[in-house]
Amino acid sequence: MTDAQSIHIQNGGSCEVVQSNGVTTNGHGHHHHHHHSSSSSSSSKHKSSSKDKHRDREREHKSSNSSSSSKEHKSSSRDKDRHKSSSSSSKHRDKDKERDGSSNSHRSGSSSSHKDKDGSSSSKHKSSSGHHKRSSKDKERRDKDKDRGSSSSSRHKSSSSSRDKERSSSSHKSSSSSSSSKSKHSSSRHSSSSSSKDQPSYDGVFVKPEPVSQQLMHSGSVDAFQMQQLGSYEAAAAGTNFNGNGNVAGANYKNGYEESIVDIKKEEESFNNLSQASSCDYSMSQFRADEPPFVVKHEQSYAEEDSTMNYNDHDDDADEMNDDEEDVPLAMRKRKQEATDRPDGGMDNDDDDDIPLLARKKVKKEKIKKESKEKSKKRVKEEPSDDYGNVKPKKKKMKKEPEPAVSPGKRQKAKAKVEEEEVWRWWEEEKRADGVKWSTLEHKGPVFAPRYERVPRNVRFYYDGKPLELSEETEEAATFYAKMLNHDYCTKEVFNNNFFKDFRKSMTPREREIIKDFRKCNFQEMFNYFQAESEKRKAASKEEKLIKKNENEALMKEFGFCMIDGHKEKIGNFRLEPPGLFRGRGEHPKMGMIKRRIQASDVSINCGKDSKVPSPPPGSRWKEVRHDNTVTWLASWIENVQGQVKYIMLNPSSKLKGEKDHIKYETARRLDKVIDKIRATYRDEWKSKEMRVRQRAVALYFIDKLALRAGNEKDEDQADTVGCCSLRVEHVQLHKELNGKENVVVFDFPGKDSIRYYNEVEVEKRVFKNLELFMEHKKEGDDLFDRLNTQVLNEHLKELMEGLTAKVFRTYNASKTLQSQLDLLTDPSATVPEKLLAYNRANRAVAILCNHQRSVPKSHEKSMENLKEKIKAKREAIEKCESEYHSRDEKKGKQLERLRDQLKKLELQETDRDENKTIALGTSKLNYLDPRISVAWCKKHDVPIEKIFNKTQRTKFLWAVHMADENYRF
């Protein structure tokens, strides 16, 4: 594999990941401190990115919130910071950044206006914090307004507003200030200035880190790493290299660790690929100014066009725009009207109102309430499958021999293969074609949450300083909050308000009469009690723990498995979710609401027609029992906070899940066969006369190159996060030139789970021009791609390849990247630990591409300090040794060598730990990387599979372990 070259190709434009180096992420460590910190000042809650922690704390302080909150800080803060808090601010910030100060003002203004429109509701919330909302929201608002009407929605709206607020406030740390000012928190301006670079942190949400600076990295080479990490990490790859000099990039890679890699190759590669870079690490990205994430290679190729086009461009574009009436933004259709606001202009005339697709936003659904509806019943399809007939013998699974095609008849008796016992080698059987998922299914039903146990009488709830006895239901609600007293959530106003509202609902009339002010509630004693209980549990004797463990196992044995088509399979989540407080991520408008206890009468059971129906708890009945073999769930219920259906399904090791997973990767491999054509097509479409086609082509380019998510529209009662199709004007900044790169697009937006995505990407000129066009006459809350949404995009993709959807690109680019990085980084003659390092780097490259982040472990800072201490001590030892060393002293010489070696190791560890601080490798390994690539790599390089996959992963990927040989290639 080493030949990297072959590999690269990957995307045409896309990504490539890091070349060699790229992979590494870099150290972020540093980052935090840097930037953000300063910004932190902003009081706003949001967190600034990096340092978040600190900030968080700050916030906490600031925030008044309930008394309770007091403590929380610590732990969570950071994490939260990243996500949650940041969110709000972030958005704004983004904008801020872009516009920065001046603009801000405008915005705010505008926003305000919008708000106004929105209406009342918003105002309220806003008041609290933010003010402005962004235009986008405006749209939403509009929608909402329409929908909801002004009234009630307030909350929601409010939520929306809140978002706005948040955004505003948060806005970047610094910049945001403007907005912030209003917002309560807002801090003032800190440095608003920070221009682009600063990070924009969304305050809340992203908290991440700061960029690391490159600093540390040991070697110079490091830079490269950093770069990569930062931004692209790889970006480097292409672009960077070039720009920077290819060498650099490439080289580093290892260097960090030391090796050098193939610079050359990389460079070449880089050309080919575009890079993807991604990431946001918060940290990184920011810093990385240097590198150019993408490569521009294409440009060259397309350059020609551009040139021509350029001239025309304007014209063309213009024309196009005008022309396209068709263009009307999708939204329009839905539109709400409100549209008026926008100046619209340019883009489409048509659109005048154009409401882009969005318009439609839905208001949330009140559905929740409706739960009743459940139509469910209908489905029951019991399709009689032949198989049915038999009831399955529950016998266990047999291990079947491997006969391929065997009919599904499962049961054969086990032959003697003992193998791993009951492994069901479904991958050796034929797949079922139709939508039928199983023939027979029997299970014991879900395990209910333990019933509430009252706290001892001496553990009291205080109201206004006086102990107050609570009814059972009220007390339970109080304990939900008490258990979280030290969590950051408790410092959030939305959380506290939502909780108190629901808390009051659970009270008896008399209690309700008394408890009217949340600030007078004191949960401290309860909190202390739970802490003590927790300690007690930890301190329990071995016997006690063992007993508990056994009980648990017994439960798992009884309810944790089901019989499906004659095989015993593990259930993924056989316990119903216990009641508690809803913990939404980011600035979720519903955080803090009480998730109520689920009763048998809330649960629908799905099982085989001829199987034994699980028995509900004595005295109760299931809401429904159905026999639908076209779905895979065993039980379902509607969760009250968001009104969505929750399910009990099988474990990832099951056939049902594994088969689907296999299909997913096969689809991605099919994409590999047509990717060149697709890339050529979308490039071509950048010149289309139709605005919608251009938008679609540019969006697809981002999805391919940056591995962005599709980006569905969201309701207002959810956190404001976006994906590719839902990007708004404020999430993107265009720079003709930035840090030595041309045509740079800076993405900064809250993605899934409110994780910040920050990336400075060098794009082809034509893309850049198109973006300018798309943004013309739009304001902050407007959709960047107003004629596009995920349905439209996926419909188009379906025409390009069967089964192709936006998410396939993520899977494809992730797996492709792993394959190419492994080829590039693995030295066949290296030792196993070295190979593992290479594997982890390849994995890291993917994680960066996909922007998989994690909060910095709470103990990270401390552990880094410890490590630094050790390094320092080691250095001193070396110095001492050196001073005592006289050239002929062999002993000393050896000792010196040894010490230097140890130092190197420690430094390596430091880098590695720091680099991984904000990067989560598990998500990509579990969901995006074709396991066969890893299996083949292990087989080829004699690396035990256990080194790569832990036990859970091995069971999930058992099919891959059996299917792939060392020659497998994605």
Partner DNA sequence: TTCCGAACTTAGGAGTTGTGCG
Partner DNA sequence: CGCACAACTCCTAAGTTCGGAA
Q: Please choose, from the candidates 413, 409, 380, the residue with its C-alpha nearest in 3D space to the C-alpha of residue 395.
A: 413
Based on the shown chain and the rule CB under 7 A, indicate whether residue 928 belongs to the binding site for DNA: yes
Distance CA 515, CA 657 (A): 49
Based on the shown chain and the rule CB under 7 A, indicate whether residue 636 belongs to the binding site for DNA: yes
The amino acid that residue 644 corresponds to is Q
Tell me the two tokens of residue 191.
Answer: 């440095």
Q: How far is the CB of 786 from DNA (least distance, A)?
A: 15
Tell me the two tokens of residue 777.
Answer: 């006459």
Based on the shown chain and the rule CB under 7 A, indicate whether residue 924 belongs to the binding site for DNA: yes
Binding string, 480-509, against DNA, x = CB under 7 A?
-------x----------------------
Based on the shown chain and the rule CB under 7 A, indicate whether residue 721 belongs to the binding site for DNA: yes
Q: How far is the CB of 472 from DNA (least distance, A)?
A: 21
Among 61, 379, 417, 736, binds DNA (CB under 7 A): 379
Q: Which stretch binds DNA (CB under 7 A): 4-12, 56-64, 161-169, 710-718?
A: 710-718
Q: Which stretch binds DNA (CB under 7 A): 92-100, 506-514, 716-724, 727-735?
A: 716-724
Q: Which is nearer to DNA, 649 or 935 (CB)?
A: 649
From the centroid of its chain, how far is CA 622?
Answer: 35
Q: Which is nearer to DNA, 406 or 436 (CB)?
A: 436
Based on the shown chain and the rule CB under 7 A, indicate whether residue 550 belongs to the binding site for DNA: no
Based on the shown chain and the rule CB under 7 A, indicate whether residue 300 belongs to the binding site for DNA: no
Based on the shown chain and the rule CB under 7 A, indicate whether residue 584 belongs to the binding site for DNA: yes
Q: Which is nearer to DNA, 81 or 263 (CB)?
A: 81
Q: Write out the binding residues for DNA, residues 610-629 only, by CB under 7 A.
A: 628
Distance CA 214, CA 229 (A): 10
Q: Which residues contact 416 (CB under 8 A, 6 or more apart)?
A: none
Q: Which stretch binds DNA (CB under 7 A): 62-70, 154-162, 654-662, 886-894?
A: 654-662
Based on the shown chain and the rule CB under 7 A, indicate whether residue 209 belongs to the binding site for DNA: no
Establish whether 701 is a catalytic residue. Answer: no
Q: Which is nearer to DNA, 317 or 715 (CB)?
A: 715
Based on the shown chain and the rule CB under 7 A, indicate whether residue 596 belongs to the binding site for DNA: no
Q: Which residues contact 366 (CB under 8 A, 6 or more apart)?
A: none
Among 36, 125, 443, 595, binds DNA (CB under 7 A): 595
Q: How far is the CB of 604 from DNA (least distance, A)?
A: 8
Among 111, 178, 201, 855, binds DNA (CB under 7 A): 855
Among 258, 323, 352, 374, binds DNA (CB under 7 A): 374
Q: Which stretch binds DNA (CB under 7 A): 189-197, 395-403, 612-620, 797-805?
A: 797-805
Q: How far is the CB of 29 from DNA (least distance, A)?
A: 12
| Residues in the chain, overall count | 970
Based on the shown chain and the rule CB under 7 A, indicate whether residue 537 belongs to the binding site for DNA: yes
Given strand 624-626, what is the order of strands in its sheet?
A: 624-626, 604-606, 635-638, 645-648
Q: Write out the binding residues for DNA, residues 308-337 only, by CB under 7 A.
A: 333-334
Q: Write out the binding residues for DNA, residues 862-901 only, by CB under 7 A.
A: 862-863, 866
Q: How far is the CB of 772 from DNA (least distance, A)?
A: 25
Q: Write out the binding residues for DNA, residues 736-755 only, by CB under 7 A.
A: 751-755
Q: Write out the binding residues for DNA, residues 810-839 only, by CB under 7 A.
A: 810-811
- 43, exposed or middle or buried, with CB in 10 Å at 0-12, 13-18, 19+? buried
* Strand residues in 317-476 grouped as ranges (E): 441-443, 461-463, 466-468
Q: Which stretch binds DNA (CB under 7 A): 64-72, 179-187, 240-248, 790-798?
A: 790-798
Tell me the two tokens of residue 69.
Answer: 């909150």
Based on the shown chain and the rule CB under 7 A, indicate whether residue 362 belongs to the binding site for DNA: yes
Among 20, 68, 642, 826, binds DNA (CB under 7 A): 642
Write the CA distances from 417 to 414, 422, 424, 599, integer angstroms: 7, 9, 12, 43
Based on the shown chain and the rule CB under 7 A, indicate whether residue 74 belongs to the binding site for DNA: no
Q: Which residues contact 214 (CB under 8 A, 6 or more apart)?
A: 26, 27, 30, 222, 223, 225, 226, 227, 287, 288
Q: Please choose, from the candidates 623, 628, 649, the residue with its C-alpha nearest in 3D space to the C-alpha of residue 638.
A: 623
Distance CA 768, CA 332 (A): 25
580-581 and 561-564 strand pairing: unpaired
Q: Write out the binding residues for DNA, residues 79-118 only, by CB under 7 A.
A: 79-80, 82-83
Beta bridge partners of 915: none
Q: Which is nearer to DNA, 70 or 573 (CB)?
A: 573
Q: Which stretch binds DNA (CB under 7 A): 91-99, 126-134, 262-270, 949-957?
A: 949-957
3-state DSSP call for residue 749?
strand
- Size of interface with DNA, in residues (CB under 7 A): 102
Distance CA 703, CA 710 (A): 7
CB-facing half-sphere around the CA of 813: CA atoms within 13 A: 36
Q: Write out the binding residues for DNA, residues 125-154 only, by CB under 7 A.
A: none
Q: Which stretch binds DNA (CB under 7 A): 2-10, 102-110, 259-267, 370-378?
A: 370-378
- In Å, the largest CA–CA distance within the chain is 90
Distance CA 750, CA 758 (A): 9
Based on the shown chain and the rule CB under 7 A, indicate whether residue 927 belongs to the binding site for DNA: yes
CA angle, residues 13, 16, 19, in degrees to nearest 5 = 140
Based on the shown chain and the rule CB under 7 A, indicate whether residue 709 belongs to the binding site for DNA: yes
Q: Write out the binding residues for DNA, residues 400-459 only, by CB under 7 A.
A: 435, 437
Among 411, 627, 687, 807, binds DNA (CB under 7 A): 807
Distance CA 419, CA 441 (A): 25
Catalytic residue among 481, 682, 757, 928: 928
Produce one character per residue of 703-725: b if its CB has 16 or more CB atoms within 10 Å, e if not. bbbbbbbbbebbbbbbbbbbbbb
Q: Which is nearer to DNA, 417 or 545 (CB)?
A: 545
Write the CA distances from 283 to 32, 51, 513, integer angstroms: 7, 10, 50
Based on the shown chain and the rule CB under 7 A, indicate whether residue 645 belongs to the binding site for DNA: yes
Q: Which is nearer to DNA, 859 or 883 (CB)?
A: 859
Distance CA 126, CA 296 (A): 43
Q: Which is nearer to DNA, 109 or 578 (CB)?
A: 578
Q: How far is the CB of 296 from DNA (least distance, A)?
A: 26
Among 39, 213, 790, 843, binds DNA (CB under 7 A): 790
Q: Which is nearer to DNA, 238 or 700 (CB)?
A: 700
From the centroid of its chain, how far is CA 746?
Answer: 19
Based on the shown chain and the rule CB under 7 A, indicate whether residue 586 belongs to the binding site for DNA: yes
Q: Please choose, from the candidates 177, 205, 180, the residue with its C-alpha nearest in 3D space to the C-alpha of residue 192.
A: 177
Q: Transcribe 363-406 into DSSP letters.
A: P--THHHHGGG--GGGG------TGGGSPP------PPP--TT-
Catalytic amino acids? 928
